[in-house]
Structure 1
Amino acid sequence: MNTAREPSAGGKKPSAEGKRPSARGEPRYVAIKRHIRGQIESGRWAVHSQVPSENQLAQEFGVSRMTARRALSELTDEGVLMRSQGLGTFVAEPVPAGSLLEVRNIADEVSARGHSYSSRILLLRETTAEANVAHALGLPQGAPVFHSVIVHCDNGLPIQWEERFTNPQLAPDYLQQDFSSTTPNAYLSRVAPLTEVDTTVEAIVAEAAVGEALELEAGSACLQVWRRTKSSTGTVSFARLVHPGSRYRLGAQLRF
């Protein structure tokens, strides 16, 4: 496995002094972050290449391991680096962006990046609507609804946990769909074309079950999107979408 290293004259390891942050009055961990970002942005450290360890950074920059660890941890939280337990820290792929205002099929987003889409179906059943779900769908409490939980992946890496409650009156064949070859969004857009969408976004720390499904460490930050979709005949579905904060971002372009 390739390891990111700065070239040095004569093949010698750069001295710790030469790696010290410049005297700008900035904390040393900030300077280390700036240095690592510079190596990545310049192309010297390619995507998936391994970066120096805490010990190596501490020695090269003349700082404590705690300082080096903070730099690596913050860059990991920001999606610049990714950690693999037992293997080390690596340069992450650029964080994919989804649209906040446009309802796009997650499979199409992944394919548009030239990546491979896959999914894991965790739950697909009929249940009864609890109060909050019934209110969102405009149904009586206790009415039958379809309940699905699916994890969507980009090149095998989970990027979205989707829990969806669907109105069976508007999508009666929902449970018969093969959601390993299509997505709920794609199917519902065909059978009940959208006319209105309500969206709310918030930052959360995912609960244990969601974090495990997304292959996250405990306490990892996530983006949570609540989305209610409507067609001309009524409310079609109510969904909760959870994205790992370090692997996904939402954006919008407005024209006036």
Structure 2
Amino acid sequence: MKSGDKTLPYEAVKHSIRHRIAEGGWQPGVRLPSERELVQEFGCARMTVHRALRELEDEGLIERRQGSGSYVAELHPISNLLQVRDIHDEIVERGHRHTTRVCGVERVKAGAEIATAMRLRKGAAVIRCRLVHLENGVPIQYEDRHVNPALAPDLLAQDFTQVTPSHVLFEHAPLTEAEQVVEAVLATDEQARLLDVLPGSALLQVSRRTLSQGIVASVARLVHPGARYRLIGSFSAGKS
């Protein structure tokens, strides 16, 4: 650790291990170097390495096996009764045609609200995607999404008339955690124009934040005409 570096030693170790896993240097199931080997590599105390590995285990990024060592965890997309789905897949499964109107895809500086939600510094570069999704030619969703470019570096090169941001993220950053809020809102003039409804019409808004390996991948505001879209979830109480 260089003198004057304000990063805590365990955070530096944790960041380095996370980066190697994210970049594919250590694949799921691979055994990590021992704590002794990591101590030698980073030139820090064993307690520092131990804390970094413990926090990575708490985040679900690695698995620590008694008497065997630490391994990169097997990462799987979320599987839950209330799933995060790609809207293209939803529409196709209904036997309908999905098309997309691209309103804008650009690199922007994160404002205070987006930076806080994405756990980035204010002004950090993020990619903003604004799209309208249509089912059989009828607008059913306006997507306003901010993406962490570190988790989808080729996002700006994608043709979003052929692929959705969700599809790209599912491929590059396996979904391990999600948060969402559903609420009723009234259509602004812009939303009304994009969704072909009257200003002030009832809309269903889903605010969603998705994470991959403890890193925020994207925050999205998904707005749907209330008369054209439903969210359906199932719940089953566990048996005693």
CA distance in structure 2 between the aligned counterparts of 1:253 and 1:166, rounded to whole angstroms:
29
Contact kept? 1:127, 1:146, Cα under 8 Å: yes
Aligned to 1:134: 115
Aligned to 2:126: 145
After superposition, where does 1:90-109 map in structure 2 within 5 Å? Answer: 101-109=82-90
Contact kept? 1:123, 1:150, Cα under 8 Å: yes
Aligned to 1:226: 207
How many residue pairs match? The answer is 158
CA distance in structure 2 between the aligned counterparts of 1:250 and 1:240, rounded to whole angstroms:
15
Aligned to 1:180: 161
Pair 1:247 & 2:228 matched: yes
Aligned to 1:210: 191
Aligned to 2:136: 155
Contact kept? 1:100, 1:251, Cα under 8 Å: no
Give the gaps of 5 or more residues in structure 2.
Answer: 1-79
Secondary structure of 2:196 counterpart: coil
Choose the corresponding residue for 1:171, options 152, 172, 185.
Answer: 152
Residue type matched to 2:217 in 1?
V
Once the 2 structures are TM-superposed, how far is the Cα of residue 100 of structure 1 from its aligned partner?
A: 8.7
Residue type matched to 1:200 in 2?
V
Choose the corresponding residue for 1:196, options 159, 177, 182.
Answer: 177
Contact kept? 1:100, 1:250, Cα under 8 Å: no
Secondary structure of 2:190 counterpart: helix
Give structure 1 regions of 4+ aligned residues with deviation exceeding 2 angstroms: none
Pair 1:113 & 2:97 matched: no
1:60-119 deviation digits (Å, cap 9, x = unpaired): xxxxxxxxxxxxxxxxxxxxxxxxxxxxxxxxxxxxxxx992111101111111111100
Residue type matched to 1:234 in 2?
I
Aligned to 1:90: none
Contact kept? 1:201, 1:225, Cα under 8 Å: yes
Once the 2 structures are TM-superposed, how far is the Cα of residue 233 of structure 1 from its aligned partner?
A: 4.8
Give the gaps of 5 or more residues in structure 1.
Answer: 1-98
CA distance in structure 2 between the aligned counterparts of 1:178 and 1:233, rounded to whole angstroms:
28
CA distance in structure 2 between the aligned counterparts of 1:222 and 1:100, rounded to whole angstroms:
24
CA distance in structure 1 between the aligned counterparts of 2:175 and 2:232, rounded to whole angstroms:
21
Name the CA shift for 1:159/1:100 in 2 (closer, same or farther; >3 Å): farther
Residue type matched to 2:208 in 1?
R
1:196-236 deviation digits (Å, cap 9, x = unpaired): 00000100002111110000012110000000000015100
Residue type matched to 1:119 in 2?
T
CA radius of gyration, larger in: 1
Among all aligned residue pairs of Structure 1 and Structure 2, give the percentage whose two residues are the same amino acid. 46
